[in-house]
Structure 1
Amino acid sequence: MSKRKGVSAEEKRTRMMQLFYEKKDFFQLKELEKLAPKEKGIIAQSVKDVVQSLVDDGLIDTDKIGTSVYFWAYPSKAKHVRKRKLIDLNEKLFECNKKLKQTRESIIEAKIGREDTTQRVNVLENLKKLENEEKILKQEVQKYEANDPEVLEKMKEEIKEAKIAINRWTENIFVVKGWCKNKFCIEESVLNKQFGISEELDYV
């Protein structure tokens, strides 16, 4: 059996932000190291690094009160930070594409009636560099779009709807099992085994 795949660094950041948005409270690091593993599946040893990376990105606020350090986060600020970051990245991407277009045009001009030259080699190297920058910027844009608070809120609503649906089908199973037991005098354990129903089946 293959080992269970670990949670990625970006997924840990997303789950940590969800924890702050759901609790709407202030926390010390020790409190987060207890809450995060239990509620979001983030191992305690990585909590400090995850929180610090979010603080560095301006998504989590922190302040020292007396000898204690507290952390908190609000969706409105996170949305503003990501929106500003997206704008900056899109501006850089626009400039990168502009330079890329100019470089490609220069390459076309350089090929006309010319052999390989130092200028042409430099242009090709610059083109490769710009293409790599474009790729990195596109990845950054996708990362911040995926962590938008509005997207997280939508995910929470979908989870709620999924739980309601699961409980509705669980209720249906219990009703059918009850009818079969009364109608045919069959033990519940026999029904479970016959239809592959877990003995631990319960509402979510």
Structure 2
Amino acid sequence: MSKKRGLSLEEKREQILQIFYDSKDFYLLKELEKLGPKRGVISQSVKDVVQSLVDDDLVLKDKIGTSVYFWSLPSSASNRLKNTYKKLESDVGSSTKRLKELTEQRDNLKRGREESDERVYALDELKTVEAEHKQLKEQLSCYADNDPATLEALKKAIEVAHSAANRWTDNIFTLQHWCSTTFPQAKEQLVHLYREAGIDEDFEYLQ
């Protein structure tokens, strides 16, 4: 003997809605959970089914005190469906109008772009010019080092580096003088430290 098929979600929704329509009354969730099985909807699934109807505005709910009541009237559902239909109808109208505008825009853009020998020739010419332009840019990049602006920037950078090097040289000489004056007995050790740091008799300002 084959097992009886359970109701689909849509069938459960219809059965729960029918409870409201038949009685035109208000219900607590626990009352609906008792009535659901009589309509083929197991009590454990009544809560989810009712919530789906609330989400779709087919069932209304309101909290009175500490209790939450649910209700739905055929006239209210009918009005909501009519409003939904009108909105969808309006959306379809707007979409149809927009489609017409886009179609006209596409057709206008196509004008003058029909395939012809002249158009094919013009496109080939464009590709040739673009290839030449790319090649010239690549050749130009090879001479970037000789660009006057680049040379001028390099010259300024050298001047800044030169000035900074002499400034640090001056700082080193000042430090050497201070060390010699402060620690005269450690002259040999200081000379050894200077040489290790690359500072010898040839150390001088840049010209």
TM-score computed with the length of structure 1 as normaliser? 0.48
- Structure whose alpha-carbon radius of gyration is higher: 2
TM-score computed with the length of structure 2 as normaliser? 0.47
